[in-house]
Amino acid sequence: MSATKLDPRLRFLQEQEHGEHAEAAVGMRLAAVKVTRRVVNVEVLLRCRKIRGTKTVKAVNDKLTDLGVAIRTLVDGPEIIAAGTVALDQMEEVLAEDWIEEMEASHRLFADLDLSGADVGVRPLQTVPPTVRGANVLVGIVDGGIAFHHDDFRLPDGTSRIRFLWDQAAAQAPGGPVPFGREYTKADLDAALRTQPPPVPVAHNDPLGHGTHVAGIAAGNGRTSNGRFMGMAPDTELVIVALRGDGASLGESSSAVAACRYIVDRAHDLGRPVAINLSQGMNAGGHSGETTLEVAMDNLARLPGIVLVKSAGNEQTWRIHAAGSVPQGATVRRQFDSSGMNLQQDVLEVWFDAADQIALAVQAPGAPVPQANDFVTPGNTNTFQTPANNRVRIDASSTDASGTGDVRAVIFLSRGAAARIQPGRWTIHCRGDQISHGDFHVWIERTGRDQGGAEQSRFTQPDNEPGCTISIPGTARRILTVGSYVTRPESGSPPAGELSRFSSHGPSRYGLRKPEIAAPGEWIASALSSASGDNPFQPGYTLMAGTSMAAPHVTGAAALLLEIDPQFTCDQVKQLLMRSARRDGAAAVAPDDSWGDGKLDVQRAVALARSVQFPAISNVTVNGTVISWQTDITSTGAVRFNTHRRRLALGRASGSRTSLTPGQQHSVDLQGLPAGAYHGEILAFSTSAEEWRTVDDNQGNHFALSVP
Amino acid sequence: MADASWQQKLDAYGRMELADGLPNTGVNVNVRVNGSGKDPAQQLTQAGLQVHYQVGDIFVGHITDEVALQSLASLPCVEEVQLSRPLYSEVPGESNRRKPS
């Protein structure tokens, strides 16, 4: 039991012969180890649960002193953190106390830098044998580009750690292996780094600096800073795709799909697992995983050895989501403010179940209230001009949008004959003509936010609904979506340990828990692209904030787990990370729709990965209303089902039946459900306390059952 | 055989683009296909889609004009055609970058 409480660095120290402790401590950068002829005293931090029925701080102080810990400081909080010195051979006795939850080696601090790596517990994995640093694993970065010459993306011999770089914006090389843009191989990059002028000109750079920063967090080796700003998985190799941006945006959905396919193909060629990072998103879609972008991501994430990680989005403070319920015969209104500025077009999407007949109308600022014939019913489109000469198009033609059985109505506002979209308060009217459920959601699409977001339209404060703001493709079912918390507060930030105010909240529109986890995203020191013009924080590094910075912490963590088992699937990595997540401080409210399952804890995740056994499902048969399957370990299971296959694919089951008997042979009978065709997927849960889960969805096709 | 409801397979962005006229440079699209017919990649290519990549039932590529768009959406194997949409980096804004003071 005490072994799980003990920092691996201390365990490693315990295993050393007398006389070797001091050298080992220096190698692991421990803060202070005092060695005498008989005793080895070590500086430690102890995390202590409060002792019931006592004056806690004093009680902890007294008990630790009795156990031989020389206390230097005690910090009271939800838990008590004690700093002090303890003899190496006294540690087991200390850890035997059930109210002591963890003993960590005090390590040298570097002027309070590099806080995020320490916070997620990755440093011991990188320094204590057997180290886990991402060897033989690829990290894929889909972003704006990379400063490939940065030392943190180079090996000690100066050659590149980047195996492939696809610059989608570059002029196409005739006969090249990519359908547009240009691919550079490691050999091209090595030559460019070694020779001036290079034999193959590599004109690529990263003027935004975003991709370089993201790559540094996931995989930078800290070579520029002697390890001070080392990323999560420093021994990985990289595959980079630089999307073609237009200044305001960072690529587009089709090029992101192409990028992920390309990375997976290159990983396959190299025979390596890969963790892919996407730190970009959009609001155009139903936020239920139904967009083609998300379906493509889910298709890739089904394969073993491929993990896709996505930033949750920074939409929380932008008031881009409204929701509500329309009663039969009533009209519900939602209002948003347009600043005008130079905005040429604004787009909103309204989604509701096609079982409902909700008619929509749009009222411009100062315009008369819409009349009955101004409303657009599902299946129809209307275009009209406002009194200020703006053009409004309401397209509610999609009554089974992307096969979801939902209505997708898109409202386009454009300047029309006017110079710009009219500033002021606009109103969306939702009239309930025929209502079964009545629920609806509305999102405002993003605009460029370079000028502090002045162009971004926002719902009024009362109409703003703070949930369901995860940016797409973060609402894809299989992708791992990451929220942000603070590890380095700056002016205006919440205190360290709290959720970033900008971090988007879940769930998906179909109620899937999103984000799955939170990681440090405010403020993070990582690799600086010299072409970006960003201010250096330290030579070669800069600070950035955003869920863009949180996601690559998880991407790097996923790469470490893939080193443990290259066959892990995205869903399995997701389970490992979620079940090992910390819930300290502000994250004590987890699991919820902002933190997911809590804060990333890589050390625990790796420990779990080393021992986990996921069930395997085999011999699935469907016979009438009965579905049967086998598992390879003693486990129990369930069948989830829906009459609508696409909804089930997106995580919206209409019901489930459970096989309660532990065993290797299972069956579930759907007899008794209303007559009709059903689609099902099987879940198997191990009988261990963790209930590790495997899902068999018939490779995305789902099992078909017919209930007479 | 052309599918009469081909416009229903476009998303609202595609229909909007069609109403305003496709740009001269064409548009990038994401296409979801079903299992009908053989070799969907070949069918899509013959309809005028420059296929860039396939990920399961999703194809991404480029279409140059309205005729090709109609041919593509009319294929029985095509379930839907979504216009490629811009993505945005997820930093809260330029204020959350460190620029030289």
C-alpha span between A377 and A359 (Å, rounded): 4
According to DSSP, residue A67 is labeled: T
Nearest-Cα distance to chain B for A527, in Å, is: 13
Mean pLDDT of chain B: 88
Q: Tell me: pLDDT of B2 over 60.
A: no
**Residue B17 neighbours by CB distance under 10 Å:** 18
Residue with tokens 């019913």: A377
User: What local confidence, expressed as pLDDT, does residue A448 receive?
Assistant: 74
Q: Tell me: pLDDT of A357 over 90.
A: yes
| Interface contact A701, partner B, CB < 8 A | no
User: What local confidence, expressed as pLDDT, does residue A113 receive?
Assistant: 38
Torsion of CA A538, A544, A550, A553, to 10 degrees: -20
Look at residue A549 and give its three-state secondary structure.
helix
Q: Tell me: pLDDT of A439 over 90.
A: yes
* Nearest residue, CB atoms, A257 vs list B30, B93, B94: B30
Confidence of residue A73 (pLDDT cuts 50, 70, 90): low
Pairing of strands A480-486, A306-311: parallel
Q: Tell me: pLDDT of B50 over 50.
A: yes
Q: Tell me: pLDDT of A259 over 60.
A: yes
Confidence of residue A590 (pLDDT cuts 50, 70, 90): very high
Mean pLDDT of A628-651: 94
Contacts of B2 (CB under 8 A, 6+ apart): B70, B71, B74
User: φ, ψ for residue A591 (rounded to 5)?
Assistant: -80, 140
Going from the C-alpha of A385 to that of each of A370, A418, A574, the distances in angstroms are: 13, 10, 49
Q: Kindly tell me the burial class for residue A675, based on how many C-beta atoms sit within 10 Å of its own C-beta (0-12, 13-18, 19 or more).
A: exposed
User: What local confidence, expressed as pLDDT, does residue A26 receive?
Assistant: 55
C-alpha span between A628 and A528 (Å, rounded): 55
Mean pLDDT of A495-523: 96
The C-alpha angle with vertex A317 and arms to A311 and A321, in degrees rounded to 5, equals 85
**Residue A644 neighbours by CB distance under 10 Å:** 17
Torsion of CA A547, A182, A267, A576, to 10 degrees: 0
User: What local confidence, expressed as pLDDT, does residue A661 receive?
Assistant: 82
User: What local confidence, expressed as pLDDT, does residue A118 receive?
Assistant: 87
User: What local confidence, expressed as pLDDT, does residue A74 receive?
Assistant: 67
C-alpha span between B71 and B12 (Å, rounded): 18
| Interface contact B41, partner A, CB < 8 A | no
Highest mean pLDDT of the ranges A186-195, A200-209, B34-43: A186-195
Q: Tell me: pLDDT of B40 over 60.
A: yes
Contacts of A102 (CB under 8 A, 6+ apart): A5, A7, A46, A47
Pair of tokens at residue A435: 């209502």
Q: Tell me: pLDDT of A210 over 70.
A: yes
pTM, two decimal places: 0.86
Which residues from A are below 8 Å from B11, CB to CB? Answer: 398, 401, 408, 410
Mean pLDDT of chain A: 91
Find the residue in B nearest to A541 (Cα): B98
Contact at CB, A314 and B13, closer than 8 angstroms: no
Find the residue in A nearest to B32 (Cα): A292
Q: Is the dihedral of CA A693, A694, A695, A700 positive or negative?
A: positive
Pair of tokens at residue B44: 């899509």
Specify the higher pLDDT residue, A264 or A51. A264
According to DSSP, residue A557 is labeled: H
User: What local confidence, expressed as pLDDT, does residue B100 receive?
Assistant: 36
User: What local confidence, expressed as pLDDT, does residue A247 receive?
Assistant: 75
Contacts of A190 (CB under 8 A, 6+ apart): A159, A160
| Interface contact B89, partner A, CB < 8 A | yes
> Is the bond preceding A473 in cis, omega lying within 30 degrees of 0?
yes
| Interface contact B26, partner A, CB < 8 A | no
pLDDT digits (tens, 9 = 90+) for A17-64: 777 776 666 555 565 566 666 778 888 888 888 766 555 777 888 888
User: What local confidence, expressed as pLDDT, does residue A111 receive?
Assistant: 29
Q: Tell me: pLDDT of B101 over 50.
A: no
Contact at CB, A546 and B85, closer than 8 angstroms: no
Pairing of strands A693-696, A703-707: unpaired
Highest mean pLDDT of the ranges A99-108, A222-231, A684-693: A222-231
Q: Tell me: pLDDT of A694 over 60.
A: yes
Question: Which of B90, B94, B97 has the most A C-beta neighbours within 10 Å, making it the best mutation to test the interface with A?
Answer: B90
| Interface contact B30, partner A, CB < 8 A | yes
According to DSSP, residue A495 is labeled: P
Contact at CB, A261 and B30, closer than 8 angstroms: no
Confidence of residue A500 (pLDDT cuts 50, 70, 90): very high
Confidence of residue B39 (pLDDT cuts 50, 70, 90): very high
Find the residue in A nearest to B51 (Cα): A179
Q: Tell me: pLDDT of A193 over 70.
A: yes
Going from the C-alpha of A8 to that of each of A11, A476, B80, the distances in angstroms are: 5, 36, 53
- Measured in residues, chain A has a length of 708
User: What local confidence, expressed as pLDDT, does residue A174 receive?
Assistant: 85
* Least confident among A135-149, A395-409, A659-673: A659-673
Do the Cβ atoms of A693 and A575 come closer than 8 Å? yes
Q: Tell me: pLDDT of A196 over 80.
A: no
Please report, rounded to a whole number, the percentage of residues in chain A having pLDDT higher than 70: 94
Mean pLDDT of B62-70: 96
User: What local confidence, expressed as pLDDT, does residue B65 receive?
Assistant: 96
C-alpha span between A177 and A219 (Å, rounded): 26
The residue among A48, A461, A122, A512 whose CA lies nearest residue A294 is: A512
Pair of tokens at residue A676: 């009709």
Alpha helices, DSSP H only, in A521-632?
547-564, 570-579, 602-611
Cβ within 8 Å of A, B 44-63: 50-58, 60-61
- The most distant pair of C-alpha atoms in chain A lies apart, rounded to whole Å, by 93
The residue among B50, B43, B14, B32 whose CA lies nearest residue A293 is: B32
Alpha helices, DSSP H only, in A241-302?
253-270, 292-301
Mean pLDDT of B36-51: 93
Mean pLDDT of A338-343: 80
pLDDT digits (tens, 9 = 90+) for A460-477: 999 999 999 999 999 999
Pair of tokens at residue A445: 């699409």
Q: If DSSP states are collapsed to H, E and C, what string results for B5-49?
A: CHHHHECHHHHHHHHHCCCCCCEEEEEEECCCCCCHHHHHHHHCC
User: What local confidence, expressed as pLDDT, does residue A110 receive?
Assistant: 36
The residue among A110, A60, A337, A116 whose CA lies nearest residue A227 is: A110
C-alpha span between A342 and A423 (Å, rounded): 10
